[in-house]
Amino acid sequence: MSMLFVVCAGFAVLALAIHLASHLLVAWHFWGRGRRAPAQMNMPDVALVRPLCGVETFSAATLAASFALTYPRYELIFCVADARDPIIPMVEATMAQHPSVRARLLIGEERTSGNPKLDNMAKGFRAASAEIVVFADSNLLVPRDYLQRIMATWERDTGAVSAPPIGAAPNGAWSEIECSLLNSYAARWQYAVDALGFGFAQGKTLAFRRADLGHGGFQAMGAEPAEDAAATKWVRARGARVRLVSPPFPQPIGRRRAREVWARHLRWARLRRVTFPLLFAPEILTSALLPFGAALLAAMNSDQSLWEIGAGFALLWYAPEALLAWRAGWPLSWRTPFACVGRDLLIVALWAGAWTGRGFVWRGHAMQARHSCADLIKGANHSI
């Protein structure tokens, strides 16, 4: 038995074991521990802040969903930076169709943090008077019990509640790949880490106590270009925890082009590289590509069939993903295995691309994935 066989086989088996363990952790997170919604009388007032920029494919549906929530006491605050933004007439029309829902539209640009999204969110936070402030991205399709599920996730040591997006309604090969990136890859790992007690925030949904944000929270989130990464560090620095709502909430994908998927996920990869470099470095190992190659090398250095080892490894790697998607109700079709393979190839390219630059464009704004400003997080102790 050669040393090459031992090394390659050991690496392939270890990677596969970690991969399978992540699925077990997610299954326990989703279905192994139930949560009860809090009693209606104990529910605090909530402000739902939705920063908007431009008209998206599903804007009509995501706006309407905001007015259909069953939470007993909430207000809606829509934030737009540009007075010429075409989303404004759509928001005004939707507000007029739901006069019974307390809703406001705030328009104006304030550049204070270097993060245009966070700057847009800030005016919504200042306008909110509720005890809990929830920020939800414009392309998130919030379910009717969205706020109840957020509140049911809150525990005594909670500093923030968050949830990753789940890709839904894919239309085309690249949208299937994006769903695979979001769902059985990114969301799976985020929930697996959360099950181990190391939850981190995701910007699609961010919920805070207003009092906490008013005492340095917003300044801390502006310390880095990724407000969710900065929020995670701020919450942990205060001795609190980020908790994830499970299961998470859908984001309709629709049709995607290759360059859109690449640009979006390269941006996220570069942000992860500078905000959590030690966690980002081994991300390349989460792709099936390297362990699959190691399994084939091990087979080549033994009397095992190359095809049998390759097929068996692929089945053990991708079958749990399909089972998780089926059990969770995520998009699943005959295209899914091909999308997973394309995703794993893309993960390697994104990992390499993240180390070759810092620049990215977010909604027309050129930005840099710069290193974190820990001193700003430690020193942020005044109200916004």
Residues 214 and 109 in one domain: yes
Of 222, 203, 206, 220, nearest to 114 by C-alpha is 222
Q: Which residue has the tokens 């739901």?
A: 98
Residues 225 and 199 in one domain: yes
Residue 357 reports pLDDT greater than 90: no
Average pLDDT of the chain, as a whole number: 90
Q: What is the mean pLDDT of residues 243-265?
A: 95
Question: 275 or 50: whose pLDDT is higher?
Answer: 50
Residues 107 and 190 in one domain: yes
Residues 230 and 169 in one domain: yes
Residues 48 and 142 in one domain: yes
Asked if the structure places residue 377 within a domain, the reply is no
Q: What is the mean pLDDT of residues 300-328?
A: 94
pLDDT of residue 358: 63
Residues 203 and 300 in one domain: no
Q: Is 212 helix (H, G, I), strand (E, B) or coil?
A: helix
Residue 144 sits in a domain whose CATH number is: 3.90.550.10
pLDDT of residue 225: 80
Half-sphere exposure of 163 (CA within 13 A, CB side): 28
Question: 377 or 352: whose pLDDT is higher?
Answer: 352
CB 125 within 8 A of CB 219: no
Asked if the structure places residue 373 within a domain, the reply is no
pTM above 0.75, yes or no: yes
Residues 249 and 161 in one domain: yes
Asked if the structure places residue 269 within a domain, the reply is no
Residues 226 and 324 in one domain: no
Q: What is the mean pLDDT of residues 205-209?
A: 97
Q: What is the mean pLDDT of residues 350-354?
A: 96
Q: How many CB atoms lie within 10 A of CB 341?
A: 18
Asked if the structure places residue 383 within a domain, the reply is no
Give the structural domain span for 300. 3-27+275-368
End-to-end CA distance of the chain: 65
Residues 110 and 240 in one domain: yes
Asked if the structure places residue 286 within a domain, the reply is yes
Tokens representing residue 363 in the block = 């909604």
pLDDT of residue 34: 58
pLDDT digits 0-9 by tens, 107-125: 998 887 778 889 999 999 9
Tokens representing residue 191 in the block = 């929930």
Last residue of a domain, one of 256, 285, 306: 256
pLDDT of residue 332: 96
Residues 95 and 203 in one domain: yes
Residue 362 reports pLDDT greater than 60: no
pLDDT digits 0-9 by tens, 127-181: 999 999 999 999 999 999 999 999 999 998 999 999 999 999 999 999 999 999 9
The total number of structural domains that make up the chain? 2
Last residue of a domain, one of 228, 256, 284: 256
Asked if the structure places residue 378 within a domain, the reply is no
Residues 203 and 308 in one domain: no
Asked if the structure places residue 333 within a domain, the reply is yes
Q: Beta partners for 243?
A: 161
pLDDT of residue 139: 96
Q: Which residue has the tokens 């839904």?
A: 168
What whole-number distance in Å separates Cα of residue 134 and Cα of residue 367?
25
Asked if the structure places residue 249 within a domain, the reply is yes
Last residue of a domain, one of 222, 256, 290: 256
Residues 46 and 194 in one domain: yes
**H or E stretch including 16?**
helix 3-27
Q: Beta partners for 79?
A: 51, 106
Q: What is the mean pLDDT of residues 76-103?
A: 97
